[in-house]
């Protein structure tokens, strides 16, 4: 099978590194000459031109969110009608507005780090992760699901709109809160000096790649605003009901959600 990957950053690079363990012909598109040199041990089929993707049966679009639509448009003149194309953008509804001449299945791997670029990528990034697939036009997800399994992840089928609401709650708002929490502490030198693992863990997302952070706010702003309003409501509700029973209930649900090795078991 011929598989294409566009954009060899954290996500695209990690897909390339993992899939090169299998018997696939991988075609990589990168605009970065340094990256092109680095990946030559994984595939000889590297170019900055999309033309190398013409024979591909599956293509991953791993560009920043803001460049996803233009990349999907470009592919319309490159791949055949039977090619399965997926993008990995962290927001999903905006890619479902247009019918595509190829088999387009939007998706989003629920795995990442605060780093970006090819050097940050690693082959086990997706191991044990969930990978959301949001079919809307072409609905046969079998081929994509097989590759997602080989990448080490579990497919979760969801509606794009519902996906965007959900990730606003568990990913995009936490990043925003983390940035605000850090900003609120940064001017107190003693607080900054004393900060240890608790502050480190709760502000990890403040170090999110800034392009990704800006795109999340731009492309999922309404859902993030709604999640923020619910969060503010919860701040008041909990303040007015700050008792052992409520804290115990939150603590128990949080403990039940993750296994000892940190995986979400829900």
Q: Does 106 bind ligand NAP (CB under 6 A)?
A: no
Q: Does 117 bind ligand NAP (CB under 6 A)?
A: yes
Choose the stretch contacting ligand NAP; rule: CB under 6 A; options: 29-37, 93-101, 143-151, 193-201: 29-37
Nearer residue to ligand NAP within complex by CB, 28 or 84: 28
- The correct pick among 72, 212, 213, 224 for binding ligand NAP (CB under 6 A) is 212
107 contacts: CB under 8 Å, gap ≥ 6: 86, 87, 88, 131, 132, 133, 134, 144, 148
| Residue 37 CB coordination number (10 Å) | 11
156, 12, 205, 64: CA torsion to nearest 10: -100
**Which residue, 216 or 227, is less far from ligand NAP as judged by CB?**
216
Q: Output the smallest distance, CB 175 to ligand NAP, in A.
A: 10
The correct pick among 3, 58, 78, 112 for binding ligand NAP (CB under 6 A) is 112
Q: Smallest distance from the beta carbon of 67 to ligand NAP, in angstroms?
A: 4
- Residue 85 as a binder of ligand NAP (CB under 6 A): the answer is no
By CB under 6 A, is residue 59 in contact with ligand NAP? Answer: no
Per rule CB under 6 A, is residue 95 in the interface with ligand NAP?
no
Least Å distance, CB 5 to ligand NAP, is 9
Binding region for ligand NAP (CB under 6 A) out of 88-96, 136-144, 162-170, 241-249: 88-96
Residues 6+ apart with CB under 8 A from 222: none
Query: What DSSP element (H or E) covers 29?
Result: strand 25-29
Which of 98, 93, 19 is closest to 59 using CA atoms?
19
Q: Quickly list H helices, 95-243.
A: 142-150, 160-167, 173-185, 189-194, 197-202, 210-219, 221-240
245 half-sphere exposure, CB direction, 13 A CA radius: 1
The C-alpha atoms of residue 259 and residue 253 are separated, in whole angstroms, by 12
List of residues contacting ligand NAP (CB under 6 A)? 7-12, 30-32, 35, 62-65, 67-68, 71, 88-90, 108-109, 112, 116-117, 209, 212
């Amino acid at each position: 099978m011929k598989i294409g990957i566009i954009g060899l950053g954290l996500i695209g690079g990690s897909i390339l590194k993992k899939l090169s363990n299998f018997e696939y012909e991988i075609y990589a598109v990168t605009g970065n000459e340094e990256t092109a040199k680095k990946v030559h041990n994984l595939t000889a089929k590297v170019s900055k031109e999309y033309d190398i993707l013409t024979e591909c049966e599956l293509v991953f679009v791993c560009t920043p969110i803001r460049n996803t639509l233009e990349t999907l448009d470009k592919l319309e003149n490159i791949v055949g009608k039977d090619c399965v194309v997926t993008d990995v953008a962290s927001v999903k509804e905006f890619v479902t507005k247009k019918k595509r001449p190829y088999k387009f299945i939007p998706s989003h791997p629920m795995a990442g780090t605060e780093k970006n670029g090819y050097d940050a990528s690693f082959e086990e990034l997706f191991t044990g992760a969930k990978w959301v697939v949001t079919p809307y036009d072409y609905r046969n997800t079998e081929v994509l699901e097989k590759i997602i399994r080989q990448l080490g992840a579990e497919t979760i089928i969801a509606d794009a709109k519902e996906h965007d609401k959900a990730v606003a709650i568990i990913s995009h708002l936490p990043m925003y809160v983390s940035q605000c929490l850090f900003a609120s502490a940064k001017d107190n030198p003693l607080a900054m000096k004393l900060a240890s693992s608790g502050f480190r863990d709760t502000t990890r997302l403040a170090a999110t790649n800034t392009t990704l952070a800006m795109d999340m706010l731009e492309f999922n702003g309404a859902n993030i605003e709604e999640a923020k309003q619910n969060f503010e409501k919860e701040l008041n509700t909990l303040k007015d009901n700050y008792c052992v029973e409520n804290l115990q209930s939150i603590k128990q649900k949080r403990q039940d959600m993750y296994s000892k090795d940190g995986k979400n078991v829900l």
